[in-house]
Amino acid sequence: MPTASTAWWATHSTSSPQPGMAAVASIWSATIGAAASSWIIAARHPERLRSLSMLSRPHPASFLRALALPDGEQKRRSGHHTAFLEPDAVPKLLANNCEWLRSRHRRQGVPEAATDAHMSVLGNEAALEAALAWYRSSRPRQELGPTKVPTLYIWGDADDTVGRVAAEGTGEFIDAPYHFEVLPGVGHYAADQVPDKVNALLLGHLRRHAD
């Protein structure tokens, strides 16, 4: 669960000559991450971070609030998350040369070459099962206080997974310098779709909060 992995991260990312590190997270790694939840670390262990940069995934509190709205918009956008929890998710996603994933990437403006690169890593049963294990083992349901480190949040307004309400509401849960960058016409995979723009934003944020 995120709490356990966050505790491990906080314990093992021991002090160094630097005052902290910069965390950059994208999509679900922003919420559950390979080592821990970036949002949780920023809220509960701000002394460990110089800055936080997030792509696509909003603050968990804003996301959960949007999920609970009676209009059901965010719930519809997030329907595939539930599908990923099903025991037959892996064979369905791998079917027809990963056509479900490929078609979704195409709709979101991801270049074919970038999709091919992702599928070269994830397009097999073992790798995809491991990736989906994050969905199955850790779902963001605990309450989380405000993020307390300088935060950059990048969101594309053509994102089919994260709606405007969840994205724009993120600023209400940041208790630190905050910049919300909206990328017009960009989908859920901004780093694949407009890598130069994303890199420029990230580098600017990292430089501003380097000390």
Pairwise CA distance, residues 197 & 195, whole Å = 5
In a domain, 14, yes or no: no
Q: What is the pLDDT of residue 211?
A: 78
In a domain, 4, yes or no: no
Q: What is the pLDDT of residue 20?
A: 76
Pairwise CA distance, residues 94 & 101, whole Å = 8
Same-domain status, 155 and 127? no
Work out how many domains the chain is built from and give that number: 2
> pLDDT tens, 69-121?
999 899 999 888 778 888 899 999 999 999 999 999 999 999 999 999 999 99
Last residue of a domain, one of 101, 120, 137: 137
Same-domain status, 55 and 85? no
Instruction: Show the domain range for 174.
Output: 21-70+145-208
Across residues 188-194, what is the average pLDDT? Answer: 94
Identify the sign of the CA torsion 179, 78, 133, 43.
positive
Pairwise CA distance, residues 15 & 32, whole Å = 23
Q: What is the pLDDT of residue 202?
A: 96
Q: Is the pLDDT of residue 1 over 70?
A: no
In a domain, 54, yes or no: yes
Same-domain status, 131 and 154? no
Q: What is the pLDDT of residue 12?
A: 47
Pairwise CA distance, residues 198 & 195, whole Å = 5
Q: Could you tell me which of 82, 133, 122 has the C-alpha nearest to residue 98?
A: 122
Same-domain status, 133 and 149? no
Q: Is the pLDDT of residue 33 over 90?
A: no
> pLDDT tens, 3-23?
444 443 444 454 443 557 888
In a domain, 93, yes or no: yes
Residue 159 in contact with residue 187, Cβ under 8 Å?
yes
CATH code, 29: 3.40.50.1820
Same-domain status, 106 and 204? no
Same-domain status, 86 and 122? yes
Question: 122-126, 133-137, 207-211 — which is least confidently predicted?
Answer: 133-137
Across residues 127-132, what is the average pLDDT? Answer: 89
Looking at every residue in the chain, the average pLDDT score rounds to 84
